[in-house]
Amino acid sequence: MSLTQVVVLAILQGITEFLPISSSAHLALAPWLFGWKDQGLTFDIALHIGTLAAVGLYFFRDWVQLVAQAFGVRHGRDPELAANRRLLWLLAAATVPAAVAGYFLKETVETTLRSPVVMGVMLIAIGGVMAVAERVGRRLRGIARITLGDAMIIGGAQALALVPGTSRSGITISAGLFRGLDRAAAARFSFLLSTPVVAAAAAKAMLDLVEQGGVPAQLASHFALGVVLSAVTGCLAISLLLRFLRNHGLYVFIYYRIAFGALVLALAAWAR
């Protein structure tokens, strides 16, 4: 891999993993557009670790408070989290649908569904879902009032994110809006919910890397740079999105998804 490829893919991962525009579609299209060879398992693992670092670092205080109060210990200063002491268990329950879907559909997702046509269609289709969520969502409740029903609906939506082109944040934020959450609460719950899934993906990737003998010496610098860049840009993307959604809707991302999805479908048709 060239240094340019490392930098571009790491920044793309950090930004698109958390914005509701689909990281899988962007990471699949970039090498095709620039004529790059596949980056390989080692660098994919670096991106997984960077993504985990981003969400873990940004929400570290939240997770400490959630774990503490779930076991009856008062800790942390966030009043929204403190008002929902069951939130850790709700997140655990909401993780189950994606875990089950990932276990049974892993091979299908990595083969049959990993095509430009599927990505293009899902980019546009989920953009439509996001637009409907924006229109009909009542946005009356914060994270303090999330229920088990909310958690399971959002968790079920997260399972759909296994399909390339969907966007985990896009589909889970939309599900939160459909359930009456405000945008900031839906996005925050979405990111907290993503943490166990991202951690599991990173752990699985690390086991695969260990089985292959670890990071080759000649790739060590690229591996480290990929981790750092994807983590830093991921943190920035989370922060910017949460701030943006306090006062703005999802429409800028919806328009982008539709335009990008149309581009992917056009390129797929042209490549034939």
The answer to whether the Cα torsion of 62, 66, 69, 71 is positive or negative is negative
Determine the Cα–Cα distance for residues 123 and 264; give it in Å rounded to an integer: 9
Round to whole Å and give the CA distance between 58 and 234: 9
Interatomic CA distance for residues 171 and 255, integer angstroms:
15
Indicate whether 271 pLDDT > 80: no
Reply yes or no on whether the pLDDT at 103 is more than 90: no
| Of 41, 50, 21, 91, nearest in space to 219 by CA | 41
Q: Does this model's pTM top 0.85? A: yes
Percent of the chain that is helix, strand, coil (3-state, to 5): 80, 0, 20
DSSP three-state, residue 108: helix
Higher pLDDT, 1 or 227: 227
Which residues, 6+ apart, have CB-to-CB distance to 117 below 8 Å? Answer: 265, 268
Task: Please report the pLDDT score of residue 208 as a whole number.
Answer: 80
pLDDT value of residue 111? 76
pLDDT band at 30 (very low <50, low <70, confident <90, very high): confident
Cα dihedral 138, 16, 152, 83 sign: negative
pLDDT at 202: 84
d(CA 237, CA 51): 11
Task: Tell me the per-residue pLDDT of 228-254, one tens digit each, with 9 for 90 and over.
Answer: 999 999 999 999 999 999 999 999 999
Phi then psi for residue 141, to 5 deg, are: -125, 145
Domain residue ranges in the chain? 3-271
Measured CA to CA in angstroms, residue 85 lies from 80, 104, 173, 223, 228 at distances of 10, 32, 21, 39, 33
The token pair that represents 261 in the structure block: 């999805």
